[in-house]
Amino acid sequence: MEVTYYQFCKTIAEDFRIELNQKHKTKFNQFPIKNGKRKINSFHDATIVDKQGNEYPYMISQTVRNEEKLIEFDYIYITRSKNLNQIIEETGVVLTSKSCKICEGGGWYSQGTKHFYKEISCEV
């Protein structure tokens, strides 16, 4: 059965009982300033950490950023899923793989790889 990349990674992580998500830390000074404000391209589940180590949500609601805490913070944590290579390295799982053509739409194709694990597969 063909599944999405995320579902494929999630299935392997669950089978091997490893955490699928990991935190990425980005320092305050790595965010550019645009129009007098720090430009932060982040996800809803990001966490702002101030210089005292206190944690605050980046988003107060789905559309409202925590502007007060964005004035002076030390770094921000963003939670993202591990990629397939990280999962393979951590679990030692051996996947069966083969080359394939992936349809990009409009008659365009790219060369990809189809991975197989148990009864599921995923094109990358």
User: Look-up: residue for tokens 């083969």?
Assistant: 98
The reported pLDDT for the residue numbered 73 is 78
Single pTM value for the model? 0.69
Q: What six digits make up the tokens of 2?
A: 């063909």
Q: What pLDDT, in 10s, does the model give residues 41-63?
A: 665 568 888 888 888 887 777 77
The reported pLDDT for the residue numbered 65 is 74
Q: What six digits make up the tokens of 57?
A: 């949500």
Show the low-confidence residues of the chain (pLDDT under 70). Answer: 33, 36-45, 71
The reported pLDDT for the residue numbered 23 is 83
The reported pLDDT for the residue numbered 111 is 92
The reported pLDDT for the residue numbered 38 is 64
